[in-house]
Chains A and B, each alone.
Chain A
Amino acid sequence: MILKNKKGDKIISVYWFFVLFIVTAAIVYMVLSFYGEPFDVREVEADILTNKVARCLSHAGYLESNVLTGNFRENFLEECGFNFKTENVYGWGAMGQYYVEINFSDFLTKKQNSPAIKKGNEELKIFCGQKGKTMPVCIKRSFYVLDKNQGKKQYQIDILSIVRKTEKNVQ
């Protein structure tokens, strides 16, 4: 009877260590997969980019006076204080990691009023709408502004912001 009990104890010990090993392996796996993955900040980055663009185009609900000029369209990055250069890794130097597209349309007729502002790597646009975490992050926002220069004409501005930077944000 005593011998049987002893064997039972030993079996329980081995079983206990087996369970402990399984639990440890699971925790180690979870920790490694969590901390091994890079932090994905692209959505926040694209959000900030969109906000910055919106702040550059309008103030207190009114369109900035020079926004619809050709000069502003051409020098958009300098005018709004953007620098789309990135670190030269993973071949990022050759292809841009950002893209911004701004469309101005009449709020009532929805007809496009002036040519769109397009800056950055336009090729990224084709990935928008595709699923998968390795795809660039696309954020589209619209807002409504009044143009003081044209008798408070109403505009709808659509901003599309895309951030790629896949290699540093997704594994």
Chain B
Amino acid sequence: MEIKNKRGNILTQNIIFIILNLVFLSILVVFLFTKMAGAAVLEEKYAKQIALILDSAEEGMAINLTMEDAIRVANKENQDLNKIIIVQDNIVTVKLREKGGYSYSFFNDLVDDVDFTIYPDTTSIPIKRFIIYVGK
């Protein structure tokens, strides 16, 4: 009887120990993924990336930019995809949530009525990319 109890105790302890470990590790993994795919991080990453693309862009270029992770976050936050990237004067703003957004300036000032147009690529559903078009 005693032996059975002892064995039972060991088993229960081990199971609790394993479960606690798993819970601990899961929390860690969730934390990592939330940090990696956080809206603030993505806003900064894409605002700077787009600003650098615009800096080096030249007339006639059409650049495809894959933004799957950012689009996923914007959809979750019920943001209109046509409004998540805004280029005003020489400042690009990426806004994936209602209260947020990140702006970064670029120095490329196109001449002769050439302008930057950025819009979601609707040729693939669900939308994964944005197109940056440099033209009149």
A81: which of B21, B56, B105, B109 is its contact (CB, 8 Å)? B109
A77 and B110 alpha carbons, distance in the complex (Å): 11
Q: Is the CB of A85 within 8 A of B90?
A: yes
B136 at the interface (CB under 8 A from A): no
A24 in the interface (beta carbon within 8 A): yes
> With the chains together, A26 CA to B110 CA distance in Å?
47
Q: Is the interface of B mostly helix, strand, loop or mixed?
A: helix
Find out whether the CB atom of A13 lies under 8 angstroms from the CB atom of B52. no
- B56–A48 touching, CB < 8 Å: yes
**In the assembled complex, B15 has its CB within 8 A of some CB on chain A:** no
**Which segment, of B24-32, B70-78, B79-87, B120-128, faces chain A?**
B24-32
Query: Which of the residues B6, B55, B111 comes within 8 Å of A49, measured between beta carbons?
Result: B55
- Kindly supply a per-residue 1/0 record for chain B positions 99-114, scoring 1 wherever the CB is within 8 Å of any chain A CB and 0 otherwise: 0000111011111000
Q: Does B11 contact A (CB under 8 A)?
A: no
> Which residues in B have their C-beta under 8 angstroms from that of A31?
31-32, 35
Tell me, rounded to whole Å, the shortest Cβ–Cβ distance linking A94 to chain B. 15
Interface flags, B1-13, vs A, CB<8A=1, else 0: 0000010001001
Check A9 for interface membership: any CB of B closer than 8 A.
yes
- Of A38-46, A64-72, A123-131, A144-152, the stretch lying at the interface with chain B is A38-46
Number of interface residues of A (CB under 8 A): 34
Would you give the shortest CB distance from A21 to chain B, in whole angstroms? 8
Cross-chain contact B32 with A13 (CB below 8 angstroms): no
A83 adjacent to B32 (CB under 8 Å): no
Chain B residues whose C-beta falls within 8 Å of the C-beta of A82 in the assembled complex: 107-109
Check A98 against B91 for contact (C-beta < 8 Å).
Answer: no
Cβ of A32 and Cβ of B44 under 8 Å apart? no
Q: A86 on the interface (CB 8 Å rule)?
A: yes
- Say whether A168 faces chain B, with CB atoms less than 8 Å apart: yes
A113 at interface, CB cutoff 8 A: no
Q: Is the CB of A41 within 8 A of B52?
A: yes
**Cα–Cα, bound, A83→B28 (Å):** 45
* A162–B105 CA distance with the chains assembled, in angstroms: 15
Nearest chain B CB to A40 CB, angstrom units: 9
Partner of A98, one of B31, B48, B107, B110: B107
Max count, chain B CB within 10 A of own CB: residue among A20, A31, A81, A84 = A81
Q: Within 8 Å of chain A (Cβ to Cβ): is B36?
A: yes
Given contacts A2-B6, A39-B48, A87-B91, contact A45 B55 (CB under 8 A): yes
Known: A41-B51, A81-B109, A82-B109. 18 other contacts (CB 8 A): A9-B10, A9-B13, A17-B20, A28-B31, A31-B31, A35-B36, A41-B48, A41-B52, A44-B52, A45-B51, A45-B107, A48-B52, A49-B55, A52-B108, A77-B109, A85-B89, A87-B104, A89-B103
A interface, CB within 8 angstroms of B: 2, 9, 13, 16-17, 20, 24, 27-28, 31-32, 35, 38-39, 41, 44-45, 48-49, 51-52, 77-78, 81-87, 89, 97-98, 168
